[in-house]
Amino acid sequence: MYRHSHCEGFQQDPTAQELGLAGPEGGLGPLEQLVAWMRKRSLFVLAFGTGCGAIEMRPLMTSRFDAERFGIVNAATPRQADVLVISGYLAIKTLKRVIRSYEQMQEPKYVIALGSCTINGGMYWDSYNTVKQVHRYLPVDMYINGCMPRPEALIEGFVALQGRIARGEPGGYQRYRERIDWYKANQRRVLGDNMLPDYTYDWYHAGGIA
């Protein structure tokens, strides 16, 4: 029953998982701690409503769950967002837009992917046009599983992310910057000719991190 589609079979990046989960090396200075705390307390979310997860994102902001008490607010444009939430299954066509949005966000930036579909394709496991493992294309900081995860689960995921931010653990964005060629190669494999223009990621090669 299992069919290989052309978006399968990538070279697995062995360090990918460890890098993100690795603990903090050395402590943070007081200013860094303060900044990290501010970052933790204020997360502007760009909710990319790719699938049914979009439905689950809405209650998060409503009176019942009230994510705002954690400082989590919706942002309108990627320029202002800190967290990109990929909510649900991700078609290849959408992937391009997601990548574009992610690259437009200003660092530090984090990616939360929610739902089984983002992890392994979920019920679209054999679809020809669904991305099975999002972390091959974008540095996912946090997967929240479930089909779909309830808002409580989302809040838990966010709180976990906040914890990591407060601890100053390196975010996925650093990984993305360091391994840009690998990510781009993967993206190119699925997007092919439909690849984003060069200028959208050229600057990653320029180096120079403040």
Partner 1 sequence: MTALVKLLFLAASLSPAATLLVWDGALAWPLFGDVTLLFDLAPLSAFFLLLVALGAPLAAIPMLRDDAEWPTYALYALLLVGMQVLLLAGDFIGLFVGWEIMTWSSYLLLLRSPRTTLATAQSYILLNLLSAFALLGGILVYYSLTGGFAIQAVADLGPWQGLALIGPLALAFLIKVGTVPLHLWVPCSYDEAPDTFSAVLSALLSKMGIYGLILLLTLLPGGLAGGLSGGLGGLYGHLLDGPAAGYVLGWIGVITSIVATFKAIAQEDMKRLLAYSSIAQVGYITTAIGVGSSLAIGGALFHALVHTLIKLLLFTTIAGIVLRTGLRSFKDLGRLIYRMPISFFGVLIGIIGLAGMPPLPGFASKYLIFVSLIDARWLLLLAAMILSSTAAFLYCYRLIYAPFLGHANSPQARTATEAPWQYLVPEVVLMGLLVALGLFPGLGVRLFVDPVLTALGLTPLGSPSWGELATPYGGYDGVVVMAVFGGAFVVVTSLFFLLRGRMRQAASPYDLSYAGEVPDETTPLHYGAGMGRELRRIPLVAWILGHSTQGLYAGLVRQTQAAAGLLAGLYSGRPQVWILLAVLVFAAALTVQLLAGGI
Partner 2 sequence: MHYLLDIPAMIATSYVLGFLFYGFYRQYNARIQRRWGPSIFQNLYDNLKFLFKSETLSHGPMFFFGPMIIVSGAVTTVLFIPFLKDSIWLQGFSQHGNLILIIYLFVLGPLGNALAVGSSGNPFGVMGVTRGLTRLMGLEVPFFLGLALVMLQYETVSVHAIMAAQSSIGEWTLVTNPIAFLVILLPFIASMNAAPFDVVGAPQEVYAGPRVEFGGRFLGVLMTQNMMLSVGKLVLLVDLFLGGATNLFILIAKAFALFLLITSISAVFPRLKTEQAVDFFWKVPLGLGVVGVVATVWLQ
**CB 109, min distance to partner 2, A:** 8
Say how far apart CA 204 and CA 177 lie, in whole Å. 6
DSSP strand pairing (142-144 vs 83-87): unpaired
164 binds partner 2, rule: CB under 8 A: no
List of residues 6+ apart from 20 with CB closer than 8 A: 139, 141, 170, 172, 175
**CB 159, min distance to partner 2, A:** 15
Say how far apart CA 54 and CA 72 lie, in whole Å. 16
- Whose CA is closest to 132, among 118, 143, 153, 144? 118
38 binds partner 2, rule: CB under 8 A: yes
**CB 31, min distance to partner 1, A:** 9
**Window 56-85: residues binding partner 2 (CB under 8 A):** 63, 66, 68-71, 73-80, 82
55 binds partner 2, rule: CB under 8 A: no
* Contact partner at residue 63 from partner 1, partner 2, none, CB < 5 to 8 Å by partner kind: partner 2
* Contact partner at residue 52 from partner 2, partner 1, none, CB < 5 to 8 Å by partner kind: none
